[in-house]
A and B are shown apart, each in its own frame.
Chain A
């Protein structure tokens, strides 16, 4: 669990490699990477709560939606500058999410998953009927201020955000707090039996997860310049986030990033052959096979490959 110099060297190399991509890959690929970056942010957020503590959330778009709608309403309806609306959106996600989902943290397993799923559905219905003059109702909102223009700038922005979130989360999870959160996922009673307040730890995991979801959601709408409830509160979106974390490697920070890139590019490369929803059938099948072959995810497979190469070289 300790920090080593080569960990930081690997992060630096990863960041350098990412930022060099605009010199190497075409604009179209950069656009795909932008979406992979945002999916990675959402998958990291999901993993901070669900991958670590075992409290599986099926309603993460609920949190992403609070961030996205808060900044969209503030900028569109009240002309609040983006620099102010995004921090407010993050704060709102943390506070609003806590108020609504805090009681749910006292329930376990499939009940928790169902409550979170219900929250997402509730939010989907609410934004359409409550104050549609603010939320834009079923059509959502367009013409929101954008943070950048063009694929290259969008790439730099999303990459910087994803790397900052990933690195901070990784650092946090390397501390004893990360160990305690993972311990909850393994045996919650034993954590309490070790003298630790499980409720407080879950609260921290939830707040950190909400912070990332809110920030990701808020920046995402100002990248797109629009928000549509049907796309945001979509069950496919939930599954894509969860599958990204799971096939990449839940309970790790790099895993959800790997999974997000793998899924985004898989869906993108399938597009010429299967332009419709059939793509999800293939992607579901690939995810299932991968998960059945190695439940610990791509990160574990990569680790195994590195160990084999090292062994061969020795």
Chain B
């Protein structure tokens, strides 16, 4: 279930702006890393490059030794890495169950046609992120922001990842919802899932990670245990503004 992510010398420029500047990172199987930094530091751009939604200018990204760079997003997901988005992206006219169904689909046209959906698995995933059974037929327009994030989690989990990238997974959630998602992440960690988590909610993030990585202007400025990173002078100067 675990995966080993290796990022080496990643560089991405948008015109004159260097969004990712020679960024390297190793995440060992089953560990959980927090990616922190101020707004615009380049955290989401790193996620997008890992998923192939944005192509790096140079550098390598490998999952368990498999070079991801030439692969399209769908192939990377099938290789075992999946992500959530800062702004949830539900299928607006599909119910909660149907949204999860899309994540559960095999990337094979004949299997899509020949095999029916798996309502038990859809229900299991929905319940695991905290939905109730009677919410399965609800449309995204009827859900709160917290529920939309849960739906995003469920659809991401449905793709069967060994590594999950969570982007601002706590934004807009209530205290109860944060506790619920945290519990879910902890449970998946216990099962061996590898995580890379971006969150501005440091209080919620701290108990979920083994180590923190701080970046600013796309450059890695600190990497180590959470307390050490938060006390790092460069991190305090750039991220905390002190």
Contact = CB atoms under 8 A, between A and B. Distances in A.
A312 to B, nearest CB: 23
B225 interface: no
Contacts of A180: 102, 105, 112
6 contacts: A1-B98, A179-B94, A190-B155, A195-B74, A195-B82, A196-B107
Contact of B89 (A176, A190, A198, A204): A190
Contacts of A189: 53, 89
A180 B109 CA distance: 10
A272 interface: no
Contacts of B98: 1, 179
Given A175-B112, A176-B115, A194-B103, A182 B74 contact: no
B83 A186 contact: no
A172 B109 CA distance: 11
Given A175-B112, A204-B109, A195 B77 contact: yes
A187 interface: yes
Contacts of B103: 194-195
A190 B140 CA distance: 14
A200 interface: yes
Is chain A's interface secondary structure helix, strand, loop, or mixed overall?
A: helix
Given A183-B102, A186-B93, A186-B94, 15 more contacts: A2-B117, A176-B101, A177-B113, A179-B102, A182-B93, A182-B94, A186-B92, A187-B90, A190-B102, A193-B73, A194-B103, A195-B82, A195-B107, A201-B109, A204-B109
Interface in B80-100: 82-83, 85, 89-94, 98
Contacts of B72: 192, 197
A191 interface: yes
Contact of A192 (B74, B91, B109, B112): B74
Interface string A192-235: 11111110110010000000000000000000000000000000
Nearest to B100: A194
Given A189-B89, A195-B78, A176 B83 contact: no
Contacts of A176: 101, 105, 112-113, 115-117
A289 B117 CA distance: 38
Contacts of A186: 91-94
Interface in A139-174: 172
A194 B93 contact: no
Interface size class of A (residues with CB under 8 A): 20 to 34
Given A180-B102, A193-B73, A196-B74, A172 B113 contact: yes
Interface string B60-83: 000000000000111101100011
B113 A191 contact: no
Contacts of B77: 193-195
Contacts of A2: 116-117
Contacts of A179: 94, 98, 101-102, 105, 117
- A-B CB proximity, top 7 nearest: A195-B77, A190-B89, A177-B112, A186-B91, A176-B112, A195-B159, A197-B74
Interface in B158-195: 158-159
B51 interface: yes
A190 B91 contact: yes
B92 A187 contact: yes
A195 B78 CA distance: 6
A196 B116 CA distance: 17
A1 B136 CA distance: 13
A194 B112 contact: no
A184 to B, nearest CB: 9
A50 to B, nearest CB: 16
A58 to B, nearest CB: 24
A175 B75 CA distance: 23
A197 B101 contact: no
A192 B73 contact: yes
Contact of B91 (A175, A183, A197, A204): A183
A204 B111 CA distance: 14
Contacts of B82: 193, 195
A2 B98 CA distance: 11
Nearest to A172: B113
A196 B91 CA distance: 14
B83 A187 contact: no
A204 B89 CA distance: 24
A196 B85 contact: no
A180 B101 CA distance: 9
A187 B91 CA distance: 6
A196 B85 CA distance: 17
A114 B109 CA distance: 29
Interface in B97-156: 98, 101-103, 105, 107, 109, 112-113, 115-117, 155
A167 to B, nearest CB: 15
Nearest to A203: B109
A179 B105 CA distance: 10
A187 B90 CA distance: 8
